[in-house]
Amino acid sequence: PDSFSEHIKLLFDLQVLALQTDMTRVISFKIGRDAQNRVFPESGSNQPFHPASHHGNREDRIMEFNKICKYRVGQVAYLLDKLQHTADGDGSLLDKSMVIWGSPMADPNIHNHSRCPLALFGHANGAVKGGLHRKAEDGTPMANVMLSAMHKLGMDDMKTFGDSTAVFAL
């Protein structure tokens, strides 16, 4: 589809169908390259993504980039709603799933990869409570969260992952 939103919804529909039919239990999905020059007219901005990310700390340019980011992140609401309204046994697919949504950049203006934002959704079949906000200490590898997520999903035999240094409270 020409519309980015329609395209993403179609891809999310396929992912939910794959989970619902138990064709897979793991999906990795990147909604776009960070260096892309795509314009997202539905965001209310006519600026290409990557050039907009180099905002030079100018408030007007930060706000323009924010329009694009809010729009892109806002797409996950469709996936979460679809998972919530898809029955799976005694609950929903969202109850049974763990969705990790994040960014590889904390400050794209300077290509800062430290303290990147992550959000976890779903309850992983009761392993994750939810409704929590955790802020990692400076220098905490993102891999600590991934290691903890694997433990919550039953992979307790994993002692390390990437550059992890410890588990992270989820």
Q: Within 13 Å of residue 167, how many CA atoms lie on the same side as its CB?
A: 12
Q: What is the pLDDT of residue 81?
A: 98
Q: Say how many Å lie between the first and final Cα of the chain, rounded.
A: 37
More confident residue, 77 or 139: 77
Bridge partners, residue 99, by sequence: 121
pLDDT band (50, 70, 90) for residue 138:
confident
Per-residue pLDDT reduced to its tens digit, 30-88: 888 777 889 999 999 999 998 999 999 999 999 999 999 999 999 999 999 999 999 99
Identify the pLDDT of residue 58.
93
- For the ranges 21-25, 101-105, 129-133, 149-153, the lowest mean pLDDT is seen at 101-105
CA distance 94 to 114: 29
CA distances from 75 to 31, 61, 118, 130, 144 (A): 9, 22, 15, 20, 26
Predicted confidence at residue 129, as pLDDT, reads: 87
